[in-house]
Structure 1
Amino acid sequence: MVTNYKTHEVYGVSNEMIATYIERSDVDDLFIKGLEKNKHLVIYGASKQGKTALTQKHLEEKDYIRVNCSPASTIQDLYNSIVRQLNIEIVESREVSQEVGGEIKAGVKAKIKIPFFGSGEANLEGKETFNEGDKTSYKIVDYNLFLAQDLSELLRAINFDKKIIVENFHYLTEENQKLLSIDLRIFDDYKIQFIVLGIWREKNRLIQFNGDLVDRLIEIPVEPWEREHLKAIIDEGFPLLNVSFENVLEELIETCFDSVGVFQELCKESCYAAGVRETSEDTIYITADNISTAIEKKLSDYSSRHIRCLEAFVEQKAKSSDEIPLYIPYYFVKTLLNEDFDDITSGLKRRVIQEKIRTIHHRPDDVRPSDMGYFLQTLVANQIKKSISPPIFDYDIGTSSVKIIDSTFYFFLKNCNKEEILEYIPVPVGL
């Protein structure tokens, strides 16, 4: 019996598993080996490049707890979420202060009710109780919701054997990223495996925060997507929808700029343009006109978001002073939109950005290396603060260059009218 598929089940970007997921030996095999070795896994790359899909492919829901980060999340919030998802009963709690790294941190100390498995199986000390209804023994133990060691001991006491997936690690403040990186060393000692997902492109992001993680984690970049990978997606989808891209495949691959998310969306929209909403009885051949229609549709979708993001990015309130501010974000965007596309894809060097900003700046002599340094080091944090999600730009310290980490932004830049986009960007007050 032939299975009938809806087009959005075969192609596109979705929270659900897409039927055309393909395994890549340098990514999927590394992930599987990491699971077997029980080392922390760090999955990174631009947005919509398959990070979450990788975990969904190889793990069932019963195998993990997923914690989503937000700009407001603290380490305590993450640990609270883990405890809450395990349905662990908190008998009572109170706020406490804890010294961490010479600083006083607020935390919560709680009395936790956990099953008691007998001598030797749980090393937490506490008052033992007995539940007549379910014939289960329990222990009431003190537990600090801020400390990784307390959480580790609690998880070991209840025989916790799942993975902990941390989504959107990049949304955490740098301080909280560092704190979690330090705590991962403790979790590793207790054989509790974390899988960290984040949007960036350079290696060793967590190791920069904690050198002790060397040899304790495995990094898995989900990029690049090679041409043969994208062709394999088409081969996988052909028998499911009975739709052929053979006449336009090269054009389609060139258009997506190695972004599997853009590629999947263009495939979906091309099918819709050809009138294919589900598995076709007869083979349908996608045409160049179908591809053009798909490009126009996705450019419209992406443009509205990216223009709003650029407007928010350059927005800067002038302080109460007679001197006009430097407005570095505004000049950065102007520089970016005047760059050749090939130079943008290879990454914009810090020195080059500064030189080009100075050539068009209203106070060129005041654009100092320290000003550029501060702008670049806070690049992601400022985007998150302005609700630009996912972030568009990131600064790679290792190569001293700005890289685009929103995979749809390349498609937008290549297909938009840059002069028209510049007209949308508000000129700061005083210029």
Structure 2
Amino acid sequence: MPFTCDVFGVSPQMSDYSYYDRNELDTKLSRLLRRQTHIAIKGPSKCGKSWLRQKCLEDALIVQCRIGMNADDIYRQCLSSLHVAFNVQRQTQNQISGEISGNAELKVPLLGNANTGLAGSYMRNSSIDTGIDYQTSVENLEFIAQSINQSGKKMVIEDFHYLGKEARRKLSYDLKTLWDYGCFVIIIGVWTQTNLLTSMNPDLTGRIEELEVSWSDNDLERVIEKGCNALNIRIDSKIVEDMIQDSFGNIGILQSLLLKLVEEQANIEKTQTYCSIITDPCFYVNAAKSYANQLDGLYQQFAKTLSAGIRQRKNSTGIYALVMEAVVNATDDELIHGFSRNKIYEITNGKEPRIQKGNLKTVLIKLADLQEAGSRLSLVISYDESIDAVFAVDLQLLFYRKHHTMRWPWEELAEEARKLSQFEEETEEG
């Protein structure tokens, strides 16, 4: 008999007790995995994309993207997980860094069954007398493809949206080459545009299929029902309704609320011998408050990091402050489906006529960098150039602001900017 934490809660590993196949996505993904095609899986953060992949593809080469990574970093991580030797090169202008021994000629053979049998070739940096074995280089996509294919696994690139614009574009072109070599990749991330990768590289047309992971209220209700059956419990219909409404179509939020409700408030830690019914509305009120308090540290740090970055923008501080004020006050629907630059301009220009619409795009693009700014936080909001809109990457923000009162620092920053007249145009380089 399972414990409550085996049934409900957010976990890196899929739970069969509360996994629900919505819209027959299991069947759709399983079919695509049999085809010779790349697969893109999109959806909001914590919406069950990774659980879907685990359900249909248990053994895979997982590459976790982080802000600042590029395509070569992805290949390095993948080959490292395969224990395949490759030359560790990173080139910046006239310098190559890496582990070089002996007479400074780097020629690393492939290990085990990953040997491709390719003839060796070399690249040499003109300013450094170092031989680079292209046969085992992360720049050699044939070597990458053959190493992955011979492992019998598929490469899965998680959190694709953390990559910068150029890194994503580069990867979209690499995917065409990998497809030519018969190496098919799964890309998982948060984006709103349909067929994003194909829009970056039209040559991917017919070579990649996109699946969207989304949840209806009925789907979320089925998850609750399945988990409750596993624990032999029932939850009052009004509490179920409130939980679904507060989940904003996000399974991660729902799972977190269920664990807090059932285990922490109702004190049900494992499957019940006799059916237990949760009816006290105070249990859910307390569970929601507890979850919001748990998120407080995350969003306090988000505000602190972003406001510190804004203060460094010198003469354009006020633009950032008013933009963020508009964003955190946007409606739930706008942050889920896209808060347009037109609407942001309408709001911010109404408060400060010096703000120009064209300049807003530069500001919105830099929001991701400002959130990262020396911390290891995940993205909370992001700007999608393809639809010219801001959206919430982390839908927990919507839950947090509903159940927890926080004084965001943007209003104070905007007022300071007005006094110092800090509304000058933001530069691309700034």
Distance 1:56 1:283 in 2: 31
On the 8 A contact 2:322/2:410 being kept in 1, the answer is no
**1:122 positional shift:** 5.5
Which consecutive unaligned segments of at least 5 residues does structure 2 have?
Answer: 99-105, 122-132, 420-430
1:243-275 per-position Cα deviation (integer Å, ceiling 9, x unaligned): 212432222211212111111111111102011
Tell me the secondary structure at the aligned position of residue 391 of structure 2. Answer: strand
Contact 2:307–2:409 (CA under 8 A) maintained in structure 1: no
Once the two structures are superposed, the pairs formed by residues 3-402 of structure 1 within 5 Å of their partners are 4-18=1-15, 19-61=17-59, 64-89=60-85, 93=87, 110-115=107-112, 124-125=118-119, 142-155=135-148, 159-223=150-214, 225-247=215-237, 248-272=239-263, 273-287=265-279, 288-315=281-308, 316-318=310-312, 324-361=315-352, 364-365=353-354, 367-385=355-373, 387=375, 389-402=377-390
The amino acid across from 1:12 in the alignment is: G
Q: Go from structure 1 to structure 2 and tell me whether the alpha carbon gap of 1:172 and 1:236 turns closer, same or farther (over 3 Å shift).
A: same
Contact kept, 8 Å, 1:113 with 1:141, in 2: the verdict is no
Per mean C-alpha deviation after superposition, the further-off stretch among 289-298 and 145-154 is 145-154
Q: Distance in 2 between matches of 1:95 and 1:398?
A: 33
Change (3 A) 1:210 1:241: same
Q: 2:392: which partner in 1?
A: 404
1:163-213 Cα distance to aligned partner (Å, 9 max, x none)? 001112222222222211111111111111111111222222222321211
1:131 counterpart residue number = none
Residues 284-341 of structure 1 deviation map (CA, whole Å, 9 limit, x = unaligned): 2122121111111111112331232123223323467xxx434322112222344455
Query: CA 1:390 to 1:176, structure 2 compared with 1: closer, same or farther past 3 Å?
Result: same
Give the C-alpha shift of residue 426 in structure 1. Answer: 5.2
Residues 344, 260 of structure 1: CA spacing in aligned structure 2 closer, same or farther, 3 A cutoff? same
CA distance in structure 1 between the aligned counterparts of 2:175 and 2:360, rounded to whole angstroms: 32
Structure 1 gap segments, 5+ residues each: 128-139
2:84 corresponds to which letter in structure 1?
I
Is residue 75–residue 179 contact of structure 1 (8 Å, CA) maintained in 2?
yes
Structure 2 length as normaliser, TM-score?
Answer: 0.82
Instruction: Spell out, residue by residue over 1:51-87, the C-alpha distance to the aligned partner (whole angstroms, 9 max, x if none).
Output: 11111111223xx211122223232222222222222
Shift in CA distance, 358/294, structure 1 to aligned 2, threshold 3 Å: same
C-alpha offsets along residues 342-365 of structure 1, whole Å, 9 cap, x if unaligned? 55455322111112112223xx22
Note the C-alpha offset of 1:123: 5.2
Per the alignment, do residues 311 and 123 of structure 1 end up closer, same or farther by CA in structure 2, a change over 3 Å counting? same
The CA distance in 1 between the partners of 2:211 and 2:88, in whole Å, is 40
Partner of 2:425: none
CA contact (8 A) 1:45 1:405 kept: no
* Counterpart for residue 136 of structure 1: none
2: CA distance, partners of 1:396 / 1:84: 32
In structure 1, what is the Cα distance between the partners aligned to 2:151 and 2:262? 45
SS at match of 1:325: helix
Residue 338 to residue 114, structure 1, CA distance change in 2 (3 Å): closer
Deviation of 1:398 after TM superposition, in Å, equals 4.2
Distance 1:267 1:369, change over 3 A: same
Change (3 A) 1:302 1:319: closer
Q: Distance in 1 between matches of 2:342 and 2:12?
A: 40
In structure 2, distance between residues paired with 1:234 and 1:357: 42
Following TM superposition, by how much is the alpha carbon of 1:222 offset from its aligned partner in structure 2, in angstroms?
A: 1.0
Tell me, yes or no, if the aligned pair for 1:44 and 1:200 is still in contact at 8 Å.
Answer: yes
Paired residues of 2:305 and 2:370 also in contact (CA < 8 A): no
Which amino acid counterpart does residue 51 of structure 2 have in structure 1? A
User: Which amino acid in 2 is paired with 1:72?
Assistant: G
d(CA) in 2 for partners of 1:148 and 1:179? 12
Q: How many residues align?
A: 394
Q: CA deviation at 1:369?
A: 2.1
TM-score by length of 1: 0.82
Q: Determine the C-alpha separation between the residues in 2 that align with 1:24 and 1:168.
A: 22
**Is the Cα contact below 8 Å between 1:107 and 1:145 reproduced in 2?**
no
Give the drift of 1:44. 1.4
Offset, 1:13: 0.5
1:27 positional shift? 2.4
Find the counterpart in structure 2 of residue 427 from structure 1: 413
What's the Cα RMSD here? Answer: 3.0
